A and B are shown apart, each in its own frame.
Chain A
Amino acid sequence: MPDYYEPTETGVQEWPYPVDYGRENEVTTDVLIIGGGVAGCHAAINAAKRGTRVVVVEKGATKRSGSSGAGVDHWGVAFTNPCSSITPDEIVERAFTNRGAVISYHNGIFRYITVKESWDALLDCENMGLQFRDVDDEFAGAPFRDEKTKILFAYDYGGKTTIRVRGGAKIKPILYKELKRLGVGIYDRVMATALLTERGKQGARVVGATGVNIRTGEFYVFKAKATVLSTAMSSAGVWMFSTELAGSAIQNDDPNNVGDGSVMAWNAGAECTLMERSGGPVSGPFHWPRFGVGSPTNTWYPCSIVDANGKEVPWVDSEGNVLKTVAERTRDWREAQLTPDLEDLIKQGEYVLPLYADLPSMPEHERRAIFGLMVGNEGKTRVPVYEAYTRAGFDPNKDMLQAPIVPVEAGGEGLGNPVWRHGGGGAVVVDWDLRTSLEGLYAAGNQIAGVGAGGHPGAAATGRYAGRKAAAYALTAGSPVANRAQIDAEKTRVYQRVGGAGDIGWKELHAGITRIMQIYCGEYKSERMLKMGLWWLNSIGQSEAARTYVRNPHELVRYLECLTRITFSEMIIQASLARKASSRALGFKRVDYPQRDPPEWNKYVTLKLSEGEVKTGELPPEYWLLPPFAPTYRENYEKHCGLDSGNGSSQR
């Protein structure tokens, strides 16, 4: 019987940690990092190396938390590695330029910084102790290995811009050790709840944050000259919640990723954009564990897939030409895919279910690279897949793992209800300093608007950049003065349910919020339904949220996360109301404004709170190349990057 039954049979047990709700702990520092994931750790390391005092506040445990805390299998965008076939400026020419009339709503600042510093961030990790190269020559002679540098490449063996990260499962503990070495103050199990601003005023300089401890319920006041938001983007958790599906790929995102950073920035008056973008529908009765079946699109690339009778499913290029050999599949990753009409071919009886990932047929180097290196180091697969499956007897040399029909990334294996959506990377607007619209507040990683899932290299690259910029600001900024009334108001908000009577649990509250979003802010949106969604959110805020019970500090934090989700959902709806046009690039469908991407709506719609009111604004496409910024990526980067050489890629 599971442990957690025990309390019900032996009597309720006392909470195992000392509880002291509201007890105030005050911490003063130069640079405060909110979120101790990959972006936050790189930010902390770079700020500390520039001579500032640094504090990290993290809801989980910094050693292993964050979206990449469990590991990473590949390191992309490494355009400055010594083997790369393409330079950063070439990639700008090829991929960054908006072609055609419709903008793609990416974030050029984030992308360029990542292109310039991805490889440097990996070298940083190597200097901290990560051995990502094939130092023991296990893959000597493999077509994806550079014999001189011993770098192992993934996907596109000709281009050599994505690196297989041998030992990638150990990156987070290595970063953590470096934080300790540099004397960074680490406050684990503290959920940051609000940003503090000068005079407590919305839109003023950010001077720190408040927090609450998930074990003790104690309160924290962090005073800082500069603050870096390296909180994650929100998970799909505003549209979907199901503990029935725990362990499945539907939980792509860390459950800690509830949008805390965006909501804190919003409440402080920071400008946000792209909140209306969403993806999906994500359908399927349920998903398998993340990369826990032989999905060949990512971690399992380029594994052969066979049907129940051993007939191989063809790989094709973008023009439909069959790629017969494994070598042909790895010439250009973006060109090669399983035949896109696979579903139809299955319905016609051409291929017989189930499908299998045919590891035994792969060349030995590929088999070991796919299962031993990629699955063996990717977050959420080293233990839950590699360790758990091999313990159960799975032998990659002999066995064919059952494979999905539809890639996991495209919505899982099955077709059918329920249908959910996920967020699309809406967050805070930044400039070339990665500063938000608020003085003293910087952003890194997926907290930057337009990033979506920026991946491990993007988090690392913008983390180190934001750390430099926040430190530079902190070294010249005045002392932070927190406003007592703002702190007291936040304490009242945080503890409002402690000790109160209640009949609604946080899980029911969470499920209720997702239902509102499914109904009123689903795939097809209209002004009437969106406004009804706002009415519902406001109403449950007054009613059920005010009847939610909080029995210990853990439930307190889960309840506070629901309040975050209510505000985050309101931000999405406000942004959806503000964009009065449908957009293919944004996955945005207004039934009352069905025309897709009309030219006058090719722009970023921005929203912020000012004196409690929602103010909308706009930014033109590629605003980062228009005044007050310079007209080219290179000029902006060299002016702002904060490196003496004006070039992040000095370590070639």
Chain B
Amino acid sequence: MEKKVYMAPNPATPCISVRINSELCIRCNICADQCRMDVMVHNPKKGEPPIVLYPDECWFCGTCVEECPVPGAIWMEHPLNQRVGWKRKETRELFRVGMKDPPPPYTRPPVG
């Protein structure tokens, strides 16, 4: 319990629109430079991944993920009030985006 406690302004409601895996990120800044809203900005510390500075301005277009040259280095997450659910037809099991212990990913890519 040694960590200092700080005052902090309230977070924006959608805290996270995109997440960056700093181990996979190659610091190319393509995501930040193609973002129409400047949701991400270059990191003032050279050689660090972009900072997600304005998540509340994200349009959720997803082009940062599309343009990223490294699979898995960046991905989108809808805020909790936008996460949707589904039912498996045969088993009637319920699933949702963001659940604990999710089913395995469906890996077939889109057409084209």
Contacts and interface: CB of A to CB of B under 8 A. Distances in A.
Contacts of A356: 86-87
Contact of A289 (B82, B90, B96): B82
Contacts of B17: 246-247
Nearest to A139: B111
Given A383-B65, A387-B76, A166 B53 contact: no
Interface string A349-391: 0000000101011000000110011011101101110111111
Interface string A1-16: 0111110110001111
Given A289-B78, A377-B111, A387-B62, A399 B87 contact: yes
B88 A372 contact: no
Contact of B61 (A64, A358, A396): A64
B86 A399 contact: yes
Contacts of B61: 64, 69-70, 254, 379-380, 383-384
A255 B59 contact: yes
B112 A288 contact: no
B51 A3 contact: yes
Interface of B (DSSP majority class): loop
A395 B106 contact: yes
Contacts of A59: 36
A369 B111 CA distance: 8
Contacts of B8: 5, 8-9
A2 B95 contact: no
Interface range for B: 35 or more
Given A17-B42, A247-B78, A388-B77, A3 B52 contact: yes
Given A372-B111, A391-B105, A401-B84, A246 B38 contact: no
Contact of A390 (B36, B59, B106): B106
A382 B75 CA distance: 12
Given A16-B43, A372-B108, A60 B66 contact: no
B33 A61 contact: yes
A649 B38 CA distance: 40
Interface string B54-71: 111111111101110000
Contacts of A486: none
Contacts of B34: 61, 63-64
B75 A288 contact: no
B52 to A, nearest CB: 5
B37 interface: yes
A16 B110 contact: no
A314 to B, nearest CB: 19
Contact of B55 (A2, A64, A131, A389): A2
Contacts of A244: 13-14, 81
Question: Does more than half of chain A's interface fall in helix, strand or loop, or is it mixed?
Answer: loop
A246 B55 contact: yes
B36 A256 contact: yes
Nearest to A290: B60
Given A69-B36, A402-B85, A169 B57 contact: no
Given A169-B66, A388-B78, A368 B111 contact: yes
Contacts of A389: 84, 97
A254 B36 contact: yes
A392 B107 CA distance: 10
A199 interface: no
Contact of B79 (A168, A246, A382, A401): A246
A23 B35 CA distance: 24
B42 to A, nearest CB: 4
B18 to A, nearest CB: 10
Pick the most buried of B33, B66, B84: most chain A CB atoms within 10 A of its CB.
Answer: B84
A248 interface: yes
Contact of B110 (A8, A173, A243, A382): A382
A98 to B, nearest CB: 37
A286 B11 contact: no
Contacts of B12: 243
Nearest to B95: A393
A295 B15 CA distance: 27
Given A356-B87, A393-B106, A377 B38 contact: no
A402 B14 contact: no
A4 B36 contact: no
A14 B44 contact: yes
Contacts of B87: 356, 399-400, 402
B73 interface: no
Interface in A222-257: 243-248, 251, 254-256
Contacts of A581: none
A63 B63 CA distance: 10
Interface centre among B55, B61, B105 (most CB of A within 10 A): B61
Contacts of B110: 169, 372-373, 375-377, 382, 386
B54 A554 contact: yes
A561 B16 CA distance: 24
A652 interface: no
Q: Give the interface centre of A9, A138, A169, A384 by most chain B CB atoms within 10 Å.
A: A384
Contacts of A65: 36
Interface in A1-45: 2-6, 8-9, 13-17
Contacts of A396: 106
A256 B112 contact: no
Contacts of B111: 138, 166-167, 368-369, 372-373, 376-377
Nearest to A396: B106
A148 interface: no
Contacts of B98: 392
A456 interface: no
A243 B112 contact: no
A64 B67 contact: yes
B103 interface: yes
5 closest A-B pairs by beta carbon, nearest first, are A383-B62, A376-B110, A60-B36, A167-B112, A393-B103
9 contacts: A2-B55, A17-B42, A69-B61, A360-B89, A372-B111, A383-B63, A387-B62, A400-B88, A402-B87
Given A6-B51, A390-B108, A399-B88, 8 more contacts: A2-B16, A60-B36, A64-B66, A70-B63, A254-B36, A290-B60, A372-B110, A392-B102
